[in-house]
Amino acid sequence: LHCPLLLLLLPLSSRPQKLPTRDEELFQMQIRDKAFFHDSSVIPDGAEISSYLFRDTPKRYFFVVEEDNTPLAVTVTPCDAPLEWKLSVQELPEETSGEGSEPLEQQKQQITNEEGTELFSYKGNDVEYFVSSSSPSGLYQLDLLSTEKDTHFKVYATTTPESDQPYPELPYDPRVDVTSLGRTTVTLAWKPSPTASLLKQPIQYCIVINKEHNFKSLCAVEAKLSSDDAFMMAPKPGLDFSPFDFAHFGFPSDNNSGKERGFLKSLSKFGRQTSPKPRVDLHKVCIGNKNIFTVSDLKPDTQYYFDMFAVNTNTNMSTAYVGTFARTKEEAKQKTVELKDGKVTDVFIKRKGAKFLRFAPVSSHQKVTFSIHSCLDAVQIQVRRDGKLLLSQNVEGVRQFQLRGKAKAKYLIRLKGSKKGASVLKILATTRPNKQSFPSLPEDTRIKAFDKLRTCSSVTVAWLGTQERNKFCIYKREVDDNYNEEQKKREQNQCLGPDTRKKTEKVLCKYFHSQNIQKAVTTETIRGLQPGKSYLLDVYVIGHGGHSVKYQSKLVKTRKFC
């Protein structure tokens, strides 16, 4: 016979079956009665199999080497739990014939009672190999056991290890190197697999990123990415379960699907079912045949573990590089801005960024007031007094917060910008209650235009005021007919005051307030406009300290024909 290897998988049905093979001639065995192997499983020479182990339930594989001095390689890959495995060999029973031949039961008893000579044993979760350039003929026995939990595993064996090479070969330096490190990025580099560079086989590289530990195999990664030990992920009966597994629970080893439901029901009585665990923060990305890659969107000051796997896309078998780990850099320490009592400070914050400010009153105080004017989108403010959080709110427009004071207290203010874009704001901190630099605003800062009062040369508008007497200035600017809301939105910086406008755009200024908040409404008619033209109107309210706040701009259009 040309190939002397036969691997036997344990989970088979009790019915007589044909042994899988790449070539039927390879599997003409010395033992004529194949019923002898009815409770074993078979792997063809040069094929990787995946199977499943129940905790504390051993599995046994057999394979036959028929000729002495045969090369042999066996690879066992644990997936999500450490394995104990042992490879041993014993002599095959001599072939006999006629009336003097031993009954089959006696031959079977003879083999199964013999332990054989142990060749190799291993305990752990590494991918481990047994390789021999010259193996004796005999019946080889592979025993596997998981004492930790139910688990998947893979087995590969071949009598032609030199020519098969299904696993990608590692380079002479199999390490993954960290070539660049940032706050949110890590750049990795590794040497290409000789299987790709020399043998020109199709290889792709897969990177695995997590915060817990490095992985020994891609099989272990995929087990972790699955439903985390849920029993329903176990192989279906008739495929990878052995008759022993069925008999253990009192079921016949018949491969019919009608037994599957009862089998799973029986398992629950034995506590085999497990509740799903929360998924780990684990990411796998395959990047083709590149040998440099930048991992992005990481968290600052966080340790990550990086594993690289070379995958042969023809065989779907993989080899692990030596993984690495790295801690991303810390966030750049923010410079803290000192606030002076009663003085307005301008603050610019990058998109998604933050700024820290400090306010340390020089005198004792009963109250402290923080006034904030967010010029664009909403910002978040947090105020801590001597480390204790006093305030955390989102601010849009102008807001004022008054907090109880404390002798010799120091206040730390954290301002967090918008996710949409950069943020611009003004902030004032004071211990003097009457010090009010920003004007008070109504809740609604829109300008209303009266369509029925619109003429070819004028428009009439109205806006709300407050109970506080303030100065209001209205400005107009002619715009194109295609001027839209998006352009108007870009000009909504409320902190830009009248001093940024042309004198020719000014319509008028007036003082206005009302003690009755329900009547705090003013109207104004803007004249001298051109027929059929569009205008952008702005109202500014100016406080006692000279700081102004702009209402929401209003786009109006005069009538074309009157």
What is the per-residue DSSP string for 166-208?
Answer: -SPPPPSS-BPEEEEE-SS-EEEE-PPPHHHHTS---EEEEEE
| pLDDT, greater one: 435 or 551 | 551
pLDDT reported for residue 406? 85
In a domain, 11, yes or no: no
| pLDDT, greater one: 108 or 57 | 57
In a domain, 21, yes or no: no
On whether both 422 and 461 belong to a single domain, the answer is no
On whether both 204 and 327 belong to a single domain, the answer is yes
pLDDT score of 266 more than 50? no
In a domain, 267, yes or no: no
Are 151 and 299 within 8 A, CB to CB?
Answer: no
Are 198 and 349 within 8 A, CB to CB?
Answer: no
Tally the C-alpha atoms within 13 A of residue 533's C-alpha that lie toward its C-beta. 16
Token pair listed for 450: 């009266």
On whether both 172 and 290 belong to a single domain, the answer is yes
Q: Average pLDDT in the 11-25 region?
A: 36
Q: Average pLDDT in the 119-124 region?
A: 89
Q: What is the residue range of 122's domain?
A: 47-91+116-164
On whether both 327 and 345 belong to a single domain, the answer is no
Host H or E run for residue 534: strand 534-542
Which has the closest alpha carbon to 167: 136, 199, 137? 199
Which has the closest alpha carbon to 185: 299, 271, 276, 97? 299
In a domain, 294, yes or no: yes
Range with the poorest average pLDDT among 82-96, 353-367, 537-551: 82-96
On whether both 210 and 158 belong to a single domain, the answer is no
- What distance in Å separates the CA atoms of residue 172 and residue 154, rounded to the nearest whole number? 26
pLDDT reported for residue 358? 93
Q: Average pLDDT in the 230-237 region?
A: 41
In a domain, 12, yes or no: no
pLDDT score of 327 more than 90? yes
Residue 164 C-alpha from the chain's centroid: 37
Are 132 and 71 within 8 A, CB to CB?
Answer: yes
Helices (H), 5-78: none
In a domain, 160, yes or no: yes
Last residue of a domain, one of 164, 180, 204: 164
On whether both 458 and 378 belong to a single domain, the answer is no
Of the pLDDT bands very low, low, confident and very high (cuts 50, 70, 90), residue 8 is very low
In a domain, 356, yes or no: yes
Indicate the number of domains in the chain: 4
Which has the closest alpha carbon to 226: 150, 168, 140? 150
pLDDT score of 312 more than 50? yes
Of the pLDDT bands very low, low, confident and very high (cuts 50, 70, 90), residue 235 is very low
Last residue of a domain, one of 430, 460, 475: 430
Of the pLDDT bands very low, low, confident and very high (cuts 50, 70, 90), residue 227 is low
On whether both 512 and 471 belong to a single domain, the answer is yes
409-467, pLDDT tens digit by residue? 899 999 998 888 888 888 989 888 676 678 888 888 899 999 999 999 999 999 999 88
Range with the poorest average pLDDT among 237-241, 292-296, 332-336, 439-443: 237-241
**For residue 345, what are the contacts with CB-CB under 8 A and spacing of at least 6?**
337, 339, 357, 426, 427, 428
Which amino acid is residue 156, in one-letter code? Answer: Y
On whether both 421 and 458 belong to a single domain, the answer is no
Angle, vertex CA 27, rays to CA 25 and CA 31, nearest 5: 125
Last residue of a domain, one of 430, 461, 489: 430
Which amino acid is residue 558, in one-letter code? Answer: T
On whether both 354 and 454 belong to a single domain, the answer is no
On whether both 326 and 347 belong to a single domain, the answer is no
DSSP symbol at 287 = -
Could you tell me whether strands 459-464 and 470-479 are parallel, antiparallel, or unpaired per DSSP bridges?
unpaired
Are 62 and 43 within 8 A, CB to CB?
Answer: no
Query: Is the pTM here over 0.95, yes or no?
Result: no
On whether both 172 and 308 belong to a single domain, the answer is yes
CATH number at 156 reads 2.60.120.680
Angle, vertex CA 132, rays to CA 128 and CA 138, nearest 5: 105
- What distance in Å separates the CA atoms of residue 250 and residue 289, rounded to the nearest whole number? 51
Of the pLDDT bands very low, low, confident and very high (cuts 50, 70, 90), residue 263 is very low
DSSP symbol at 43 = B
Rounded to the nearest integer, the mean pLDDT of the chain is 78
Q: Average pLDDT in the 127-136 region?
A: 87
Of the pLDDT bands very low, low, confident and very high (cuts 50, 70, 90), residue 384 is very high
Of the pLDDT bands very low, low, confident and very high (cuts 50, 70, 90), residue 145 is very high
pLDDT score of 53 more than 70? yes
Are 470 and 454 within 8 A, CB to CB?
Answer: no
In a domain, 10, yes or no: no
| pLDDT, greater one: 82 or 28 | 82
Of the pLDDT bands very low, low, confident and very high (cuts 50, 70, 90), residue 489 is low
Q: How far is CA 260 from CA 97, 165, 254, 429, 547, in A?
A: 42, 38, 10, 72, 78
pLDDT score of 102 more than 80? no
Highest mean pLDDT range out of 170-179, 197-206, 478-487, 541-550? 170-179
- What distance in Å separates the CA atoms of residue 175 and residue 320, rounded to the nearest whole number? 10
On whether both 146 and 201 belong to a single domain, the answer is no
- What distance in Å separates the CA atoms of residue 523 and residue 525, rounded to the nearest whole number? 7
| Phi, then psi, of 11 in degrees rounded to 5 | -75, 90
- What distance in Å separates the CA atoms of residue 486 and residue 19, rounded to the nearest whole number? 72
Residue whose structure tokens are 């020479």 = 45
- What distance in Å separates the CA atoms of residue 319 and residue 322, rounded to the nearest whole number? 10
Of the pLDDT bands very low, low, confident and very high (cuts 50, 70, 90), residue 67 is confident
What would you report as the CA-atom Rg of the chain, rounded to the nearest whole angstrom?
Answer: 40
Residue whose structure tokens are 């008893």 = 109
Of the pLDDT bands very low, low, confident and very high (cuts 50, 70, 90), residue 238 is very low
- What distance in Å separates the CA atoms of residue 218 and residue 236, rounded to the nearest whole number? 22
Residue whose structure tokens are 């009457």 = 434
pLDDT reported for residue 41? 67
Sign of the C-alpha dihedral, residues 479, 481, 482, 483?
positive
